[in-house]
């Protein structure tokens, strides 16, 4: 009887160990570079890392005017237009009103505002289970979209864009 219990405990420990190991290696990452738009000198990087069902987004941007700026995910991974308009409107696969992330209705692309310091440098981080990297779910998958940094702040009210001003940087979200 002791032998059977010990064997069962070893099997359970091996199964738990395997599950833990497979989850820790189950991570996806994308590293992107912003290109300036609208005759700006804005540049920077963005990263998306998916782990355990959550995506963490980090953007580090420079060359901005000091103050508050909006950043959104847009419909298309096309940054070819000089003003960034080729990226389309905000990514809104659930057909909600524009708003502030996590408060009432908002687009899946309504990341929010961040502040650029006196040197024009800013950073923003967001972690969510509302996005995925390459999962194929049209309401969550960020692949094939674009990220736009705006000249001004998002007012979280004006439809459908938040009145955030011109597009000063763009990056395609592609593998």
- The predicted model gives 151-162 an average pLDDT of 95
pLDDT at 56: 98
pLDDT at 14: 37
pLDDT at 17: 38
Average pLDDT, the chain: 89
Runs of H (alpha helix) within 77-160: none
The residue that leads in pLDDT, 25 or 105, is 105
pLDDT at 4: 45
Residue among 142, 121, 124 nearest 132 (CA):
142
pLDDT at 25: 56
Phi first, then psi, for residue 82 (nearest 5°) are: -60, -25
**pLDDT score of 133 more than 80:** yes
Domain layout of the chain by residue ranges: 27-173
Lookup: tokens for 27:
């991570």
CATH of domain 27-173: 2.60.40.200
- The predicted model gives 142-161 an average pLDDT of 97
pLDDT at 175: 87
- The predicted model gives 121-145 an average pLDDT of 97
Lookup: tokens for 132:
């995925």
pLDDT at 108: 96
pLDDT at 7: 40
pLDDT at 26: 79
pLDDT at 129: 97
State the number of CA atoms in the 13 A half-sphere of 110 facing the CB: 26
CB atoms within 10 A of CB 169: 30
DSSP annotation of 86 reads G
């Amino acid at each position: 009887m002791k032998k059977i219990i010990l064997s069962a405990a070893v099997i359970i420990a091996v199964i738990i160990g395997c599950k833990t190991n497979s989850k820790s290696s189950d991570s996806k990452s994308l590293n992107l570079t912003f290109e300036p738009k609208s005759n700006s000198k804005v540049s920077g990087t963005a990263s998306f890392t998916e782990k355990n069902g959550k995506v963490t987004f980090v953007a580090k941007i420079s060359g901005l005017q000091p103050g508050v700026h909006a950043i959104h995910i847009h419909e298309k991974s096309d940054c070819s237009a000089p003003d960034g308009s080729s990226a389309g409107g905000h990514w809104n696969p659930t057909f909600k009103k524009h708003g502030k992330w996590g408060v009432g209705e908002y687009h899946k692309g309504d990341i929010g505002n961040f502040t650029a310091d006196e040197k024009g440098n800013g950073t923003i981080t967001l972690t969510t289970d509302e996005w995925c990297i390459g999962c194929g779910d049209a309401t969550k998958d960020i692949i094939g979209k674009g990220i736009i940094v705006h000249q001004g702040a998002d007012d979280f009210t004006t439809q459908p864009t938040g009145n955030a001003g011109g597009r000063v940087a763009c990056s395609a979200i592609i593998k």
